[in-house]
């Protein structure tokens, strides 16, 4: 075989090997792309399925009675209601307050209450504690949940479902409840190692009586602490300490 023929054969062999290598590389690339597409579809499918099941679970929770949501009061290890003499009625401030109890059930507060159409806050959108205390003065009950609860998807699902249930009640003052986070930046942890606190600013007057508010009266900060959220405990709490039972719970009666 001549030298030129040998060189041509060598070039053809090299070219064939190059084409084979390119084909092999294309196959590897297509395989990797195919695997990535399958993985992405699986991830999207799982995310979609998780979102769907979460929505289904939440819809089912919203349809339940309030006292059926979450744990029972016994299972949530809710302690007896703690009551302290209240202070700060009508005391409007513009700066931070060092409250005597954490979370507070009364005390000095900002001059404007938080939006009364919102029943749920997370750590990113919650108003200042001092603003929520003004809601307490107006008769609201606040359910404070700590950072451990905030990290528990199952409990948060129950809390947001509870808020949606409260939303559905409209302006009914019986359901004037706000669920809000209590963080390590707000003050000492919820007492007794608990993770949920129910708070209300009471005047020991559960039934509206306009004459009562014309005289001097005492007020009290009431709190109940639980290991986890209990719709049963909340239902009993707001029945015992309704919206009217507060220093300014009479306001909605006088609003045209």
Query: What is the pLDDT averaged over residues 112-137?
Result: 96
Query: Given a cut of 90, is residue 131 above it in pLDDT?
Result: yes
Give the three-class secondary structure for 226: strand
pLDDT-derived band of residue 36, with 50, 70 and 90 as boundaries?
Answer: low
Q: Does residue 50 have a pLDDT over 50? A: no
Element (H, E) at 197: strand 196-202
Residue 208 has a pLDDT of 87
Residue 155 CB partners (closer than 8 Å, separation 6+): 70, 145, 149, 228, 229
Structure token pair of residue 85: 């003499």
Per DSSP, the three-state class of 79 is coil
| 58, pLDDT greater than 60 | no
Write down the mean pLDDT value for the chain: 86
In this model, does residue 62 exceed pLDDT 70? no
pTM of the full structure: 0.77
Mean pLDDT, rounded, for 173-184? 95
């Amino acid at each position: 075989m001549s030298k030129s023929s040998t060189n041509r054969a060598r070039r053809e062999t090299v070219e064939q090997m190059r084409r084979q290598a390119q084909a092999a590389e294309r196959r590897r690339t297509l395989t990797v792309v195919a695997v990535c597409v399958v993985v992405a579809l699986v991830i999207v499918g799982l995310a979609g399925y998780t979102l769907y099941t979460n929505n289904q679970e939440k819809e089912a929770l919203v349809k339940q009675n309030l006292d059926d949501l979450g744990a029972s009061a016994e299972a949530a290890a809710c302690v007896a209601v703690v009551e302290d003499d209240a202070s700060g009625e009508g005391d409007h401030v513009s700066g931070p307050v060092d409250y005597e109890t954490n979370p507070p059930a009364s005390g000095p507060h900002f001059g404007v209450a938080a939006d009364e159409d919102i029943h749920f806050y997370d750590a990113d959108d919650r108003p200042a504690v001092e603003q929520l205390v003004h809601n307490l003065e107006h008769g609201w009950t606040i359910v404070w949940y700590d950072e451990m609860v905030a990290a528990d998807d199952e409990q948060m699902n129950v809390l947001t479902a509870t808020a949606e249930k409260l939303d559905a009640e409209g302006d009914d003052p019986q359901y004037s409840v706000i669920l809000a986070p209590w963080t390590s930046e707000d003050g000492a942890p919820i007492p007794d190692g608990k993770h949920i606190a129910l708070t209300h600013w009471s005047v020991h007057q559960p039934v509206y009586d306009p004459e009562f508010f014309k005289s001097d009266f005492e007020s009290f900060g009431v709190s109940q602490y639980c290991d986890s959220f209990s719709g049963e405990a909340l239902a009993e709490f707001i029945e015992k300490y309704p919206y009217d039972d507060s220093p300014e719970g009479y306001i909605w009666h006088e609003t045209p």
